[in-house]
Amino acid sequence: MASPGHGTVLARATPVRRQIHRAIEPLQLTTFTGNALFPSRNWHQSLCGWHAPDKLGALQLACRQLQAHAFCFRLDRFVCTGKTPGSIHWALRSSHDEPLGFGELLTELRRVFGLNGINDDCMHTAHVTLSYFAEQCISNTQIEPIDWVIDMVELVVARGHGDTYRYETIEAFPLLPMLHIPPAQFSLLG
C-alpha cells in the first residue's frame, strides 16, 4: 500500500472480479482474515513500483508509448506465505509458469520508463494479492481456474487510508492484440 498521491501502473482484476469471488468462496477466507481481506475493487496485478506525485506526468507519457501485447493470465492456485499473524500474504497465482506475455510487458514498461527518465527496478511476479495482513496461514490449494485476459494497464494514484484506501485511475492504456491465444480460448473465437 502506498502513500496517498503516489502513482503506479497496474492491471485491475475488475473483468474477473466475480469469477475470483466464486473461486475463493469455498476457502471461507473471511473466517480467517476478518477485515484483512482487501476490497475487491483493489485487486490487481502490479507492474512497477510506486512513484512520487512529481513523476506522474512522466509515467503517463511513458505509458502512452507502450507497445506491449495483451496476454492471458490463468489464476488457479491460492497461495499463503509468511508466518507472523497479521502480516501473512494471501495471493492467487498460476500453477504453471509465468504467463506468456507478462515478462515482455514488464520489459517494455522498463524501456519506456527509461526513455522518460523513470528509474524502476521493481521486479514483480504474476499474482493477485488478496491480503498482506492475514492472521493465519491456510493450506495452498487449487481453485477453479480463471482465465484473465490482461488487455489494458492503468496509471493510478493511491487515495484514502484504511477502509477508504483505493486506486484512482489517471488514464487507461489498451495493449496490442494477444499474440498467444491459450487453447482454452480458441472456442471463444467463434
Each residue's pLDDT tens digit, 42-100: 999 999 999 999 999 999 999 999 999 999 999 999 999 998 988 889 999 999 888 99
Joined together, the cell numbers standing for residue 181 give: 491465444
Per-residue model confidence (pLDDT) at position 151:
97
Joined together, the cell numbers standing for residue 155 give: 496509471
Residue 78: CB partners within 8 Å, gap ≥ 6? 24, 27, 90, 91, 92, 140, 141, 142, 143
**Partner residues linked to 137 by β-bridges:** none
pTM score:
0.89
Per-residue model confidence (pLDDT) at position 187:
45
User: Is 61 in contact with 134 (CB distance < 8 Å)?
Assistant: no
User: Is 146 in contact with 20 (CB distance < 8 Å)?
Assistant: yes
Q: Which domains does the chain have, with CATH numbers?
A: 7-30+40-74+100-128+148-189 (3.90.1140.10)
pLDDT digits (tens, 9 = 90+) for 22-47: 999 998 887 766 667 788 899 999 99
Backbone angles phi, psi at 124, to 5 degrees: -105, 155
pLDDT digits (tens, 9 = 90+) for 131-160: 888 888 889 999 999 999 999 999 999 998
Strand order in the sheet with 152-159: 44-46, 7-12, 152-159, 166-174
Can you tell me the distance from the alpha carbon of 5 to that of 64, in angstroms, rounded to the nearest whole number? 20
User: Is 97 in contact with 115 (CB distance < 8 Å)?
Assistant: no
CA geometry: angle 10, 16, 21, nearest 5 deg: 115
